[in-house]
A and B are shown apart, each in its own frame.
Chain A
Amino acid sequence: MSSLLAVAENTLREAVRKRVLLAALVFGTAFLALFALGISSVERDMLKHAPMSLMQRRLFLNFVVMAGLYAVNFLTVMTAAFMPVDTLSGEIASGVMQTVAAKPVRRSTIVLGKWLAYWLVVAGYLALLAGGALAIMRGLTGFTPPHIELGLPLMLLEATVILSLSIAGGTRLSTIANGVAVFGLYGLAFLGSWFEQIGTLMNNGSAATLGTITSLLMPSEALWQRAAWFMQPPIMRDLHLTPFSPASLPSEAMVWWALGYVLVTLAFALVGFRKRAL
């Protein structure tokens, strides 16, 4: 346990020393500042010109906050994929791993320690950005979208899926190949999810099935769709008023699938790294 914490702590220190955290913080703050600026100008406009019903106003603000959260989701996924992409492959290639792995620590401890550290960073990043966006929205307009307690954990799960893949890839692939593979999968899921939505809307069964299969291969986008579904009022998602209103709601089973996906990916990482010649 103490070596797991030592590895995790060292990984966090690396994120600080290499200014990864600083960059995330600076651009995260810039993002929030922009978001606040945008909302206050929209809000001013709404009050001045178009008199809206309470319902219209709520729907509109919900759309704006979903756009913000969509950007937050994308940034978090990027961070989860990029940050740990070379943590194993880079240290293996440079030889840094040799002195660490020759110590009385299990290889699994090294993998899990790194995973834990990056998970904390990604979770903190998501909390900062999503929490910041929601707080800004509430502070400036008094509006909070529904069921954020269900939506935000799903966004975190999505980031966890990507993070675990990025770490697992690093046990076998070079840094570049790993990055390409993780983003390739993410892109696949993104496209597949759109096929699923379009297929459902058009009653095209094969397109919808194709989408479901890609979501099983990579559940990231399905998790976002489910999170987005929760964080909108029923009328918005039923009428498919915005691009954030999924036509086909990924089921709860997809959440369990994603959790299992994380566990299996981590198991692959542990096995892959245990046998790896260093």
Chain B
Amino acid sequence: MTDTVLTTRGLHKRFDAKLAVADLSLSLRQGEVFGFLGPNGAGKTTSLKMLLGLVTPSGGSATVLGAPLGDLHARARMGFLPEHFRFHDWLTGRELLRYHGRLYGMKGPHLEARIETLLARVDLLDAGERAVRGYSKGMLQRVGLAQAILNHPAIVFLDEPTSGLDPLGRRLVRDVIKELREQGTTVFLNSHLLGEVEATCDRVAFVKEGRIVRELVLAASAMGGVEVEIRLTGPGGGPVPALVRDELARRGEDLVWSEPGVARLRVAVDDAVPALARWLVGTGVELHGLTARRPSLEDVFLEVMGDDQRPG
């Protein structure tokens, strides 16, 4: 049985006339990396702030780590990296982490050792004594990430952690997320960078106008299978035998011959692709190429959000 670390039901938030979050109902299991996707202004950040106790919901119910929103004991086991990470920039990197560690109730050699480990992990050991004011955007984001995981949290909320980072910075964030998952930490990732989400998340929810419109497990089967394109000719370069064509139609869905030697079809799971190749070679046809491609998250995103969305 997997433990549920976060449940919300009908959580909503209204700021005066504006309904920022209309209905947030979701459930996160321990150790999963969950992507919260949506265009700018869809209510992602407000949702996250409600879960962290920074914004009081207008209604609905929720528990995080088994406690109601804002519970101090639960917050001791949570980590948070806000979007546009800003901090008391007159502190040095080390002082910043020490202050936040103390707010988590950490102290002494245990805290100091943790700070050194994290500074090394986010590659800021040599900048630890410099004022944060002089950090580059990537360094700020890295020290912010270290701040978010100081307390070995059970759940970490990351709001757009890679926006504005260079490829190296993005990879570091991705690696840290991977390590967190290996340690059994749940990661709640707000993002609109679909490539990042695709590379890191186990499951995503699409949020549109303050409402979750679709949840998706990021595996081939759930994304609508794998698209396979095959280039082949019959033995000796002749036409493809009818027997092979019939069998291909059985092994996949939506088989289309775009040209006489080019077949496109969809198979349910990744594992079906090598089997398909083996079988084709066994039939004696000449295989010129076989490529498999999953529909990207972007395809799904655009489909889910529909055409009525304007750039945010």
Contact = CB atoms under 8 A, between A and B. Distances in A.
B80 interface: yes
A96 B100 contact: no
Interface residues on B, range: 20 to 34
A104 B87 contact: no
B56 A275 contact: yes
Contacts of B102: 2-3, 6
Contacts of B147: 99
Interface string B64-87: 000000001101101011101111
Given A95-B82, A277-B55, A104 B104 contact: yes
Contacts of B54: 98, 101-102, 277-278
A96 B88 contact: yes
Interface in B236-250: none
B107 interface: yes
Contacts of A6: 99, 102-103
Contacts of A103: 75, 100, 103-104
Interface stretch (A12-20, A169-177, A222-230): A12-20
Contacts of A3: 102-103, 105
B73 to A, nearest CB: 7
Interface of chain A: mostly helix, strand, loop or mixed: helix
B276 interface: no
B223 interface: no
B142 to A, nearest CB: 14
Given A6-B102, A96-B88, A98-B82, A104 B75 contact: yes
A29 interface: no
Nearest to B78: A102
B49 interface: yes
Q: Which of A6, A18, A99 has the most CB of B within 10 A?
A: A99
Interface in B85-113: 85-88, 90-91, 95, 99-100, 102-105, 107
Interface string A6-35: 110010011001100000000000000000
Contacts of A264: none
Interface string B263-281: 0000000000000000000
Contact of B80 (A7, A18, A102): A102
B52 interface: yes
Contacts of B134: none
Contact of A99 (B72, B82, B105): B82
Which 7 A-B residue pairs are closest in the complex by CB-CB distance? Answer: A103-B103, A104-B76, A17-B90, A6-B102, A104-B75, A278-B54, A102-B80
Interface of B: 15, 49, 52-56, 72-73, 75-76, 78, 80-82, 84-88, 90-91, 95, 99-100, 102-105, 107, 144, 147
Given A17-B90, A99-B81, A99-B87, 12 more contacts: A3-B103, A10-B99, A98-B80, A99-B85, A102-B54, A102-B78, A103-B104, A104-B72, A104-B105, A105-B72, A105-B103, A277-B55
